[in-house]
């Protein structure tokens, strides 16, 4: 039996400010740091030894993982992949979600956030929020950097990386992935065989480890959030 642990980063500054964040590199709030430390403590209590760590290129996911590893007193070097980045919200990036509900209507904003294949308008390449203008992404091939994405787009890039780099490691290793709401939703769609309606309803709490047990054939035998007070409906369990 192996463990796959999925952790959405702790609360970020733009989570708190209710902004569409996407690929903008923002830090954790103090509460987000506490969430990350608690995630580490909960994993430590379960006495799960992590063999391989993965994270995105984004500061909030990397620092969540750093705090988890510090809590576990584990100095293994993590593997960083831009493919695990959050969904790119295009022209919505940096805008306040509540203000957009007033401007566009609650239903339209819900569609942008939860629909399967609807993309917001592209973000202007001159914007300081565009990934081509953010130092953290300088090593990503420019033809791979999006101007906007749907959840379907995010799913495709996350799954390509997962199948190529992570899936084959699961049989013999316990793996932890520190990533983002939509990149983890993408993984859950694949792992739990969710349809487009189910994935639209899936919420991923910040800083709460989702522990998935897999047998030797990589079939899920059990899963649960370690912080039961902040767990969300897994749709399938």
Full DSSP string of 85-112: SPPP-GGGTT-BHHHHHHHH-HHHHHHH
Predicted confidence (pLDDT) per residue in 34-67, tens digit: 999 999 999 999 999 999 999 999 999 999 999 9
Separation CA 183–CA 137 (nearest Å)? 17
pTM: 0.95
Task: List Cα–Cα distances, 171 to 150, 181, 213, 220, in angstroms.
Answer: 31, 25, 11, 12
Is 88 noted as a catalytic residue in this protein? no
Q: Domain map of the chain by residue range?
A: 2-168+183-211+221-230
Whether 236 has a pLDDT exceeding 60, the answer reads: no
Residue of 9, 88, 130, 180 with catalytic role: 9
Q: Homologous superfamily of 2-168+183-211+221-230 in CATH?
A: Phosphoglycerate mutase-like (3.40.50.1240)
30 catalytic? Reply is: no
- What are the C-alpha distances in Å from 41 to residues 44, 48, 75, 213? 5, 11, 16, 19
Strands (E) in 79-209, as ranges, are: 79-80, 175-179
- Given the residues 35, 86, 88, 180, select the one marked as catalytic: 86
Confidence at 237, pLDDT banded by 50, 70, 90: very low
Q: What is the DSSP code (8-state) at residue 130?
A: S
Quick one: what percent of the chain has pLDDT higher than 90?
A: 83
Give Cβ neighbours of residue 151 (< 8 Å, ≥ 6 apart). 87, 114, 115, 116, 117, 182, 185, 186, 199
Place of tokens 């006495």: 47
What strand order describes the sheet that includes 2-8? 79-80, 52-55, 175-179, 2-8, 210-214, 220-225
- Please report the pLDDT score of residue 235 as a whole number: 54
Number of Cβ atoms within 10 Å of the Cβ of 86: 25
Q: In this structure, what are the phi and psi dihedrals at residue 51, rounded to the nearest 5 degrees?
A: -90, -40
DSSP state of 137: G
């Amino acid at each position: 039996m192996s463990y796959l642990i999925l952790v959405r980063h702790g609360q970020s500054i733009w989570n708190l400010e209710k902004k569409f964040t996407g690929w903008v590199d923002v830090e954790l709030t103090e509460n987000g740091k506490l969430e990350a430390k608690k995630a580490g403590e909960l994993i430590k209590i379960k006495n799960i030894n992590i063999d391989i760590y993965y994270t995105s290129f984004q500061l909030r996911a990397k620092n969540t993982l750093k705090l988890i590893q510090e809590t576990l007193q584990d100095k293994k070097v993590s593997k960083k992949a831009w493919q695990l980045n959050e969904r790119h919200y295009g022209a919505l990036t940096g805008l306040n979600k509540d203000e957009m509900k007033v401007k566009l209507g609650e239903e339209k904003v819900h569609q942008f956030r939860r629909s399967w294949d609807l993309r917001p308008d592209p973000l202007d390449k001159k914007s300081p929020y565009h990934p081509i203008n953010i130092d953290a992404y300088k090593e990503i091939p420019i033809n791979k950097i999006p101007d906007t994405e749907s959840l379907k787009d995010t799913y495709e890039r996350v799954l390509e990386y997962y199948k190529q780099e992570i899936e084959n490691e699961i049989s013999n290793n316990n793996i932890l992935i520190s990533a983002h709401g939509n990149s983890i939703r993408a993984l859950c769609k694949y792992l739990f065989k969710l349809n487009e309606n189910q994935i639209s309803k899936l919420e991923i709490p910040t800083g709460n480890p989702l522990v998935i047990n897999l047998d030797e054939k990589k079939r899920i035998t059990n899963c649960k959030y370690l912080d039961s007070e902040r767990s969300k409906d897994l749709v399938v369990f």
